[in-house]
Structure 1
Amino acid sequence: MFRTMLVAATALLLFSACEKSGFSYDNSTNEEDVQYTLLDTFTIQMRTVQLDSIPTSGTATALTGGYMDPVFGRLDAGTYFRISLPPEREVDIRAEYDSIELIMRPNGYWYGDTLVPQQFRVYKLAQKLELPTDYYRLFSHQQFTIENMPWADTSMIVRPVLGEQLHIRLSDVKGRELFDMLRNKVQEVSTEDHFAEYFKGMAVRGNNNRAVFGFQAMDTSLYIRLHYHISTTEVEEKYFDFKMTNAELQFNEIQSDRSGTPLESLTTGPAGLPTTSTASQAYVQSITRTVARMDFPGIPALQELGKYGRIMRAELVLRPVLGTYSDYAMPPMMTLCPADNLHYVAQGDTLLSEYGTQYGNMQVDFLNPENTAYVYDVTEYCRALSDMNTYTYRGLLFIPNNGDYYTTFNRLVIGDGENTKYRAQLKVYYLLYK
């Protein structure tokens, strides 16, 4: 009788502690002096965070175009790159200029409506494309000055899946000028160094487009082709290729206008937008530097349950909001990164898992949307969380995997812990020795 009363009193005390700390019991099992409990109502403090910038150079991907997103606003992308002289550039005395074009090969990625014509503008840079002092990469927010008049302003349909090359006809005035420089062997085309000073780089941008496209940014797939011919007994068609060079300098500029969207008031900095002000939803789109952050204030309170307790397993479930991914693709893989209060992620941080990077194992279930979720093993993180202090504390950033982080517009809207239908959950399986 005494033992029964003691167990009951202990259970009552533990339940009281759980309620005070913001979580409750479920599926409890009592066997003598051991209690194994599932706690799944932990408070999850979630917010949308705007990071300072992301590097977009050296990715071998050129992004161009734009579209209107009801959540993330107006988004536009443009790409910058340098070109080199043709290795063989001797112009036959009989040669005559024909045309000049920019050739780009799609890499199969697109985002938006590809069934309508897209407008592209091609510019020569007025400012040399190079790394600024103390920079090791070029970032999405950077811009380089362009010449006033574009070399091309044209509209066309892009078929990214078929892999058809995009041929953009450029200004014949500029083409003839370049052809005559080669013919006359002027200093500007005598060496690569001289040419880099004259031809400072190129930019390709969209203009009020309905889709963004990815192109291969390599010397074999991104280049200017100058066509000419030689007339003898028959017409012999020839060309010079000015291929993309300095791959580490090719980068993508990303612009966004969030006026009238849920993210209109989101600014760069540690504060972010708490989900309490965004209808219990957080937003992720890495290319626009938008990520979700989570903190779990209830985990350290587990120590109140008793001196001898251990987290046996912890699982984090994050659910996309139905209706936000039917027309706008979600990232196929998402990762969790431990980050300090300024959202800085330390390279090589092993706090989250001893088994390496996790990607969430996301599967979309349109029949039962509540089953669509990213699921993570956060056991190691939750165990470490109890011992963190002000200086060692880490929250979790929810971001696309490294391969997609810098080159795609895929986006995500997830529910927080208070979302009625698509609730985020932290499930902790706790073993307590009484």
Structure 2
Amino acid sequence: MNKSIRAKEACKYLVCALLITGAEACDKAGFSYDNIVDNGATQYIVVDSVTMNMNTVFLDSIPTSYQSLALVGNHTDPIFGTVSASSYWRVKAYNGATIPDLASYDSLVMIMRPNKTGMYGDTAAVQDVSVYRVTEKIDTRITNGYLYSYDKFATETTPLGSKQFKIRPSIDTLIRIKLDDVLGADLYAKCKAKSQTVTDQIQFADYLKGLSIQPGANSKLVSSFRGDDSLTMRLYYHQNSGEKLTTTIDFPVYNASLQFNHIDVTRPSGSPLAGLSSTNKTLASTSADNRTFAQPLTNLITRVDMPYLKNISQLHKFFKVMRATLTVRPEKQTYQYPYNLPGKLTLCEINSTNTITDSLISPSTGGVQTGNLVIDYAYNLNTAYTYDITNYCIAQMSAVDANIRGLALIQPRNTGFTRFDRVVLGDRKNKFNNIEIKIYYLQYE
């Protein structure tokens, strides 16, 4: 009988063998497994207790430019801490259209369009926002062309305008903040005269280096606004001849690479997260109540390492991994309103310096794996992200030490760097929601 037939028969009688004979225990450093044997030379083995070390990792640099999204507000999260978000951008120069001689200045207003999703906190809470004039040139400062969550630029101490309001994400399409008329009148005069100060982009950047929206003391919610050309400073004027005709001049965002979000975070007092920083980048799950954390916008991702994975291949000379799965479970009672689980949680490879090197591809679909989230609304015990790690396990079992990679769990860039969705994951010893691995392989003579 050839090996493939024996393998099929072994799988066929797997359930019977478990029920009748039970499982023989075989031990090897780092894992144990159930061994089901047929009368031939093929063994079908399921490993479900590979040692897994889980850590929360602090990332130094989170790029927040090129997202066309503006975040502003304060929110205190009982697990992740108090977050403050503000946004900066350069302003596009005047297009040079002629203003009639008899026209008169009316007002200057900041126009912001809320996104329907991406809020952090209770949407019924009060939002308190101020608009500031930037006094320092906004540039990337470094060669790779990005601005990061830690970047910030100086502003005037007195805001151009402020407003307190409540956002209704499903209803509100426009937020207006009245701005300083001294700036408005000066802008109007220069536009009417077609001064190069406002028509030339370089000169205009010297005159108005940029704008920033920042939370006020009464802000209780981080709000998400569009950061494209709909985020605009709008000047209103009217013509005095005959019927009053109101006209506008828009000064929108200039250059998406220079519009970015600055994030500050203060971890809860006594929280194990408080010890994480650019000089202390790793927090073991065993030091955090058997939990890890992921919220990229506040620099946190989860790392999983399986240091004894290679030992499985040393058990037998003839060996083949057939399938391997990884299931991670969010801790119950950590994703109730107003906190959402990430709809997608990407599984990536990560090296010894905590640099993400690649995303894991699904063997069946060829796409990046994002967990296929299933939520257990009834009991919160079976909520899970599940991944196929077959190819990863095969590669790591044959890798030399220099090429060994861990696994990272992180939200995709388009949401992870624009939203504060977060997840708390249980490790192997978490009482209710623990991580699980299963490796199915054939061992034969």
Q: Secondary structure at the residue paired with 1:174?
A: helix
**Of the candidates 181, 184, 187, which is equivalent to residue 190 of structure 2?**
181
Q: Does the 8 A contact of 2:198 with 2:204 survive in 1? A: yes
Q: Distance in 2 between matches of 1:379 and 1:100?
A: 59
Q: CA deviation at 1:408?
A: 0.8
Residue identity opposite 1:41 in structure 2: S
Q: Distance in 1 between matches of 2:54 and 2:197?
A: 56
1:344 corresponds to: 355
Question: Is 1:322 paired with 2:326?
Answer: no
Q: Secondary structure at the residue paired with 2:439?
A: strand
Q: Does the 8 A contact of 1:51 with 1:269 survive in 2? A: no
Deviation per residue, 1:90-122 (Å, 9 max, x gap): 332222221111101112121211112210011
2:294 corresponds to: 284
2:8 corresponds to: none
Q: Does the 8 A contact of 2:35 with 2:43 survive in 1? A: no
Q: Secondary structure at the residue paired with 2:82?
A: strand
Residue identity opposite 1:61 in structure 2: L
1:247 corresponds to: 256
**Of the candidates 141, 152, 164, which is equivalent to residue 155 of structure 1?**
164
Q: CA deviation at 1:184?
A: 4.1
Alignment of 1:190-339 (within 5 A): 190-208=199-217, 209-219=219-229, 221-260=230-269, 261-268=271-278, 271-327=281-337, 328-339=339-350
**Of the candidates 28, 31, 34, which is equivalent to residue 23 of structure 1?**
31
Q: Does the 8 A contact of 1:106 with 1:160 survive in 2? A: yes
Deviation per residue, 1:306-337 (Å, 9 max, x gap): 11122111100000001000121010001111
Structure 1 residue runs of 5 or longer lacking an equivalent are 1-10
Alignment of 1:37-186 (within 5 A): 37-109=45-117, 110-186=119-195
Question: Is 1:372 paired with 2:383?
Answer: yes
Larger mean CA deviation between 115-124 and 300-309 belongs to 300-309
Question: Is 1:386 paired with 2:397?
Answer: yes
Structure 2 residue runs of 5 or longer lacking an equivalent are 1-20
Question: Is 1:363 paired with 2:378?
Answer: no
1:3 corresponds to: none
Q: CA deviation at 1:123?
A: 0.7
Residue identity opposite 2:128 in structure 1: Q
Q: Distance in 2 between matches of 1:270 and 1:210?
A: 30
Q: CA deviation at 1:79?
A: 1.0
Q: Provide the TM-score with structure 2 as the length reference.
A: 0.89
Larger mean CA deviation between 241-250 and 156-165 belongs to 156-165
Q: CA RMSD in A?
A: 2.2
Counting aligned pairs with the same residue, the percent is 35
Q: Does the 8 A contact of 1:270 with 1:342 survive in 2? A: no
2:11 corresponds to: none
Question: Is 1:415 paired with 2:423?
Answer: no
Q: Secondary structure at the residue paired with 1:48?
A: strand
Q: Does the 8 A contact of 2:360 with 2:369 survive in 1? A: no
- Pick closer, same or farther for the CA change 1:269–1:344 going to 2, 3 Å: farther
2:443 corresponds to: 432
Q: Secondary structure at the residue paired with 1:342?
A: coil
Q: CA deviation at 1:190?
A: 3.8
- Pick closer, same or farther for the CA change 1:351–1:331 going to 2, 3 Å: closer
Q: Distance in 1 between matches of 2:104 and 2:227?
A: 30
- Pick closer, same or farther for the CA change 1:340–1:193 going to 2, 3 Å: same
Q: Secondary structure at the residue paired with 1:107?
A: coil
Q: CA deviation at 1:172?
A: 1.7
Q: CA deviation at 1:358?
A: 0.7
Q: Provide the TM-score with structure 1 as the length reference.
A: 0.91
Q: CA deviation at 1:356?
A: 3.2
Q: Secondary structure at the residue paired with 1:24?
A: strand
